[in-house]
């Protein structure tokens, strides 16, 4: 399977309904919140340093999505980025789509922020983030993993 990563300029022009449905079946609402917040203008990933990306398969179907928002941790570095709304279609996991998406987001964030954080409660996501260079750090209540940039 060949994948391409694209920066999303208008989420409303993408068909992410399959990701929304599948994620809700898995008990996750953050892809639904992504679509709702984007449509309402609450979070369009358009602030300084922010970006939203998707991965498409060789048929042009969106199989993964995720972005980075500015997310200063209270008492922490104001130049902190937050990995947000990161989701990979179940049958595309462990095929490289998620790693490809994360790599693109990290490269973007590296030029915009001092560090990138994420919060997850999933052991599979924990393993994924650690494998991709994040360190486990739950010292702040809203963060479980971080990647510092030099």
Tens-place pLDDT, residues 89-131 = 999 998 999 999 999 999 999 999 999 999 998 888 999 999 9
List the CATH number of the domain containing 20: 3.40.630.30
For the chain, what is the total number of helices (H) and then of strands (E)?
Answer: 4, 7
Q: Give the H or E element holding residue 33.
A: helix 30-40
* Beta-bridge partners for 54: 6, 65
Q: What is the predicted pLDDT for the residue at 41?
A: 96
pLDDT band of residue 45 (cuts 50, 70, 90) is very high
pTM as predicted: 0.93
Q: What is the predicted pLDDT for the residue at 135?
A: 95
Specify the pairing of strand 62-70 against strand 115-118: unpaired
pLDDT tens, residue by residue, 47-82: 999 999 999 999 999 999 999 999 866 666 778 999
Q: What is the predicted pLDDT for the residue at 4?
A: 96
Q: Which residues of 74-113 are buried (b: 16+ CB within 10 A; e: fewer)?
A: eebeeebbbbbbbbbbeebeeeebbbbbbebbbebbeebb
User: Considering its fold, how many domains does the chain have in total?
Assistant: 1
Range of the domain at 117: 4-148
């Amino acid at each position: 399977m060949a994948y391409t990563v694209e920066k999303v300029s208008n989420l409303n022009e993408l068909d992410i309904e399959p990701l929304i449905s599948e994620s809700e079946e898995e008990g996750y609402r953050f892809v639904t919140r992504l679509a709702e917040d984007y449509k309402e203008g609450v979070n369009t990933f358009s602030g300084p340093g922010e970006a939203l990306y998707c991965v498409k398969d060789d048929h042009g179907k969106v199989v993964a999505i995720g972005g980075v928002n500015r997310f200063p941790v209270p008492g922490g570095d104001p130049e902190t980025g937050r990995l947000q709304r990161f989701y990979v279609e179940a049958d595309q996991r462990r095929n490289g789509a998620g790693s490809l998406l994360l790599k693109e987001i990290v490269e973007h964030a590296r030029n915009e922020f001092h560090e990138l954080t994420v919060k997850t409660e999933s052991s599979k996501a924990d393993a994924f983030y650690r494998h991709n260079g994040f360190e486990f750090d739950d010292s702040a209540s809203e963060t479980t993993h971080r990647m510092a940039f030099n």
